[in-house]
Amino acid sequence: MAIILNQNQDLSLKERFFNLNFIFIAIVCTLAFIGCAILYSAAGGNLSPWALNQGIRFGLGLLIFLVASLLKPELYYKLSTPFYLFTLLLLIIVEIAGHTGMGAQRWINLGFFKLQPSELMKIAIVLELARYFSNTPLSEIKTIKGIIAPTIITIIPVTLIIMQPDLGTSLMILFSGVALFYLAGVQWWKFASCLGIIAISAPILWSKLHNYQKNRILTFLDPERDPQGAGYHIIQAKIALGSGGLTGKGFLSGTQSHLNFLPEKHTDFIFTMFSEEFGMLGGVLILILNLIIISYGYWFAFRIHPSNYFGKMVILGLNTNYFLYVFINIAMVIGLLPVVGVPLPLISYGGTVIISVMASFGIMMSFYVHKDKELKK
């Protein structure tokens, strides 16, 4: 009876707090701690300039996570559309600013913080698509008409971000969107025909391009075409990684990183530095910790109240987003994907990603905290 009673009653703050999944939080903290440790090593055994800053940012991220996880899930549902529209507006502002002589930029300077609207969009698009699909019956989702709106919702921000140009982020948003389409029940053949259309039209579009445009795109997709520039980076990254071997060269002893052969060692290529110093075992440890986080994500989605379709979609969308972060980053630094500029969340130096990832974890956790309650729309 008590449970039924509870269903209609809001959880107290204390109840919400004890409903948090502390193992999940512990693993997130472990990854963040590993990140600070590598940044300490990257600075040659110094807390400055990176490790301490990163720690402070993570602390801030943890705070945002707590706030987000203690909020009521209904809030996210209600805010999803306004938040999406607001973020879209910011994206347009950034785009226009970039075209009116203020220089190409991806962020809005808020004085104390440089806000990247594209990072907000990663969350906004998931919320908005989840809201749409949760309110649309399956029969409609299975029609062409039913997916026109979510397609537009996805295509506009992806296009805006690709023009920044930020291929990595726009692909992540696109893939998260596609994942939600798939989860919502859009038929296989629609994805297949979409791929087919792209495959057919690509050569035609390609032939209409000028040579310099083709070169620009090719180098954009495959930096190894330019061995002096980005190609040098990936070659040095492979050397760093390969020379690490099974157990690595030891903390503070990675020659490739400490002698500066490895570029961007504190940002996008931090996984390589870690793997140089801690070897394959270290790399696998990071992968496993991330896999546990992602598994928890799926567990959360399963676990929350069956009526909360919106929540399940949001969790799965944000979880996919996190997976894409980890996968694209590691795949690109070990030479499986082109270097598209995606950081390793929780570990790479940089405030925006920590904040956005912790916020999305917070949103996921908020649904988990209210796992036994129905979503009141």
Partner 1 sequence: MKTNNKLRILLKRSLTIYSANIFLFFVLIGRLYYLQIYEKEKYTLLADNNRISERLLVPPRGSINDRNGVELAMNNQNFQAMITAEHVHDLDKLLEEITPILNLTDSEKERIKKDISRHKRFVPVKIKDNLTWQEVSTLMLNNHLYPGLFIDEGLTRYYPFKQYTAHPLGYVGSVSTSDLEKSDAPLLQVPDFKIGKSGFEKTYDLSLRGTEGTLKYEVNAYGRIMQEIEKVEGIKGNDLDLSIDIRLQSFAYDAFGDESGAAVVLDVHTGEILAFVSVPSFDPNLFVDGISVKNWNNLLYSEKTPLTNKAISGLYSPGSTFKIAVALAALEEGIINTSTTSYCSGKMKLGNHLFHCWRHSGHGKQNVISAIKNSCDIFFYEVALKLGIEKIAKMSHKLGLGEIYDIGLENQKQGVIPDKQWKLSKLKTPWQQGETVIAGIGQGYVLVNPLQLVTMLSRVVNGGYEVTPTFLKQDTPPQLPSLNLKKSSIDIVKQGMFEVVNGIGGTAVKAKPKTKDYKIGGKTGTTQVRRISLKERKEGIKKDEDLPWKYRNHAWFMAYAPHDNPKYAIAVIVEHGRSGSGVAAPIASKILEEAIRLDIR
Min separation Cβ 127 and partner 1, Å = 16
Backbone dihedral angles phi then psi of residue 143, each to the nearest 5 degrees = -95, 160
Residue 270 found at the interface with partner 1 (CB under 8 A): no
Binding to partner 1 (CB under 8 A) within 192-251 occurs at 236, 238-246
Q: Which residues pair with 114 in a beta bridge?
A: 109
Q: Give residue for tokens 């070897």.
A: 279
Q: Which stretch binds partner 1 (CB under 8 A): 84-92, 163-171, 198-206, 330-338?
A: 330-338
Q: Which stretch binds partner 1 (CB under 8 A): 39-47, 49-57, 313-321, 341-349?
A: 313-321
Binding to partner 1 (CB under 8 A) within 173-192 occurs at 179, 182-185
Q: Give residue for tokens 């069956």.
A: 306
Residue 291 found at the interface with partner 1 (CB under 8 A): yes
Min separation Cβ 191 and partner 1, Å = 12
Q: Which is nearer to partner 1, 170 or 256 (CB)?
A: 256
Judge contact between 295 and 26, C-beta under 8 A. no
Residue 301 found at the interface with partner 1 (CB under 8 A): yes
Q: Which is nearer to partner 1, 64 or 141 (CB)?
A: 141
Binding to partner 1 (CB under 8 A) within 46-105 occurs at none
Q: Which is nearer to partner 1, 71 or 324 (CB)?
A: 324
Q: Which amino acid is at 2?
A: A
Min separation Cβ 363 and partner 1, Å = 17
Q: How many residues bind partner 1 (CB under 8 A)?
A: 51
| Residue ranges binding partner 1 (CB under 8 A) | 137-139, 141, 179, 182-185, 236, 238-246, 255-256, 258-261, 275, 279-280, 283-284, 287, 290-291, 294-295, 298, 301-302, 306, 309, 312-313, 316, 320, 323, 327, 330-331, 334-336
